[in-house]
Amino acid sequence: MRRLGRELGVEAMSLYNHVPNKEALLDGMVEVLLAEMEVSVDGKEGWEERVREVFRSFRRLAHAHPDVFVLFAVRPPTTSKVVWLLPAFLDALRGAGWEMRTSLRAFRALSSYTIGYALVEVRGSVPEPARDRTGILGAAEEERIFEMVPILNGADRDAEFEFGLDLIFTGLRAELERG
Partner DNA sequence: ACCTGAACACCGTTCAAGT
Distance CA 33, CA 36 (A): 5
Q: Which residue lies nearer to DNA by CB, 16 or 146?
A: 16
Tell me: does residue 155 bind a second copy (CB under 8 A): yes
The residues in 7-36 that bind DNA, with binding defined as CB under 7 A, are 10-14, 16-18, 21-23
Tell me: does residue 29 bind a second copy (CB under 8 A): no
Q: Least distance from C-beta 72 to a second copy, angstroms? A: 10
The answer to whether 148 and 125 are in contact (CB under 8 A) is: no
Q: Where are the alpha helices (DSSP H) in the chain?
A: 2-7, 22-35, 47-64, 66-74, 79-93, 100-123, 139-154, 157-178
Instruction: Using alpha carbons only, give the angle 66, 42, 84 rounded to the nearest 5 degrees.
Output: 40
Distance CA 149, CA 128 (A): 7
Q: Which does 23 bind (CB under 5 to 8 A by kind): a second copy, DNA, none?
A: DNA
Q: Which residues bind a second copy (CB under 8 A)?
A: 70, 73-83, 86-87, 90, 100-101, 104-106, 108-109, 111-117, 119-120, 123-127, 129-130, 133-134, 136-137, 141, 144-145, 147-149, 151-152, 155, 160, 163-164, 166-172, 174-175
